[in-house]
């Protein structure tokens, strides 16, 4: 592909994607304002979790902790209770730790520079880009799995997306595509396209706004991309759990214990349990 063809392909992608997103974007509660705190909370909740699941959690969380100050000052147990059911509880702890830092260092205002946002606990490159572009309209890329899938297919990129070098090159490519005047809408459009159209299996190519210049589809590779090394399968572990119910004056009570302060599911409550001995 010549440089002029490549430039045309990129320009077409940016223009058509932005137009499509503005016509078809979903009405999601965190899209109703440019409040960086709202956007930050939504992006943390959306990690490893479906949009439909997040919506009621986000609404309840915002009702309970409507501002940076409210979340910073809340007892951790209340925050974890509001997060209950979303899983990956370290996300909630890291979010509150970072919000407390924002309250103390920045007067409760989420910073608007890449260095400051990226330094906050639990805020990686994707979340940094999402906050800066959506809240502050800064041309920073927000590259997650959805985005890498879209770019791999559209530009026919056969590099393994599990490699750090591939992510870096994808971030550079995504930044080249961002229209400076509409960074937030463009990044959300990329996410939306990956979530609704350019899906992992059976992508809806005929309804895709950028199908005409999609190199992956032209090569018949839209379903085989992106290239992704399979993760190691989880190691199964069996445990005995014990349910101890109270009697007499303790009737209706069940014995539970609190996990250690560090490690998996730190400080959460559980039934007593022990590992099942493995056969020699």
**Average confidence score pLDDT of the chain:** 91
Q: Do residue 122 and residue 243 come from a single domain?
A: no
The answer on pLDDT for 109 being more than 70 is: yes
215-244 pLDDT tens trace = 999 999 999 999 998 878 888 888 888 888
Q: How confident is the model at residue 192 (pLDDT cuts 50, 70, 90)?
A: very high
Burial (Cβ within 10 Å: 0-12, 13-18, ≥19) of residue 186: buried
In a domain, 108, yes or no: yes
Q: Do residue 52 and residue 175 come from a single domain?
A: yes
Q: Do residue 170 and residue 248 come from a single domain?
A: no
189 Cα distance to chain centroid: 15
Dihedral in degrees, nearest 10, Cα atoms 192, 195, 197, 202: 170
**Helix extents (H) in the chain:** 3-24, 36-46, 51-64, 68-73, 76-83, 90-106, 114-118, 125-130, 136, 145-154, 164-177, 183-196, 215-218
Q: Do residue 109 and residue 246 come from a single domain?
A: no
Core vs surface per residue 142-171: b (16+ CB within 10 A) or e: bbbebbbbbbbbbbbbeeebeeeebbeebb
How confident is the model over 122-133, as a mean pLDDT? 96
In a domain, 228, yes or no: no
CATH of the domain at 201: 1.10.340.30
Q: Do residue 124 and residue 203 come from a single domain?
A: yes
Task: Give the chain's domain count.
Answer: 2
How confident is the model over 109-126, as a mean pLDDT? 96
Q: Do residue 74 and residue 178 come from a single domain?
A: yes
47-103 pLDDT tens trace = 989 999 999 999 999 999 999 999 999 999 999 999 999 988 999 999 999 999 999
Q: Are 123 and 174 in contact (CB under 8 A)?
A: no
How confident is the model over 24-29, as a mean pLDDT? 95
Determine the straight-line distance between the first and last CA of the chain, rounded to whole angstroms.
60
The answer on pLDDT for 4 being more than 70 is: no
- Domain assignment of residue 264, given as a range: 239-275
Q: Do residue 156 and residue 187 come from a single domain?
A: yes
Q: Do residue 183 and residue 83 come from a single domain?
A: yes
Active site residues per annotation: 43
């Amino acid at each position: 592909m010549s440089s002029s063809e490549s430039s045309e392909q990129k320009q077409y992608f940016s223009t058509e994607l932005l137009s499509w997103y503005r016509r078809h974007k979903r009405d999601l509660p965190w899209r109703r304002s440019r409040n960086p705190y709202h956007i930050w909370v939504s992006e943390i909740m959306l990690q490893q979790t479906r949009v439909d699941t997040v919506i009621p959690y986000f609404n309840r969380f915002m009702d309970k902790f409507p501002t940076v100050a409210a979340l910073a000052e809340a007892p951790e147990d209340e925050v974890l209770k509001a997060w209950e059911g979303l899983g990956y509880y370290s996300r909630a702890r890291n979010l509150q730790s970072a919000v407390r830092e924002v309250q103390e260092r920045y007067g409760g205002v989420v910073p608007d520079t890449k260095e400051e946002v990226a330094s906050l606990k639990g805020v990686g490159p994707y979340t940094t880009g999402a906050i800066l572009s959506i809240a502050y309209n800064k041309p920073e890329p927000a590259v997650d799995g959805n985005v890498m899938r879209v770019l791999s297919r559209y530009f026919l990129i056969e590099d393994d997306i599990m490699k750090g070098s591939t992510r870096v090159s994808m971030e550079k490519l995504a930044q080249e595509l961002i229209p400076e005047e509409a960074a937030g809408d463009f990044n959300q459009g990329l996410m939306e396209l990956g979530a609704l159209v350019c899906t992992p299996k059976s992508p809806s190519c005929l309804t895709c706004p950028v199908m005409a210049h999609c190199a992956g589809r032209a090569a018949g590779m839209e379903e085989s991309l992106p290239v992704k090394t399979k993760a190691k399968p989880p190691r199964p572990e069996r445990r005995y759990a014990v349910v101890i119910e109270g009697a007499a004056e303790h009737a209706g009570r069940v014995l539970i214990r609190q996990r250690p302060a560090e490690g998996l599911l730190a400080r959460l409550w559980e039934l007593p349990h022990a590992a099942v001995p493995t056969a020699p």
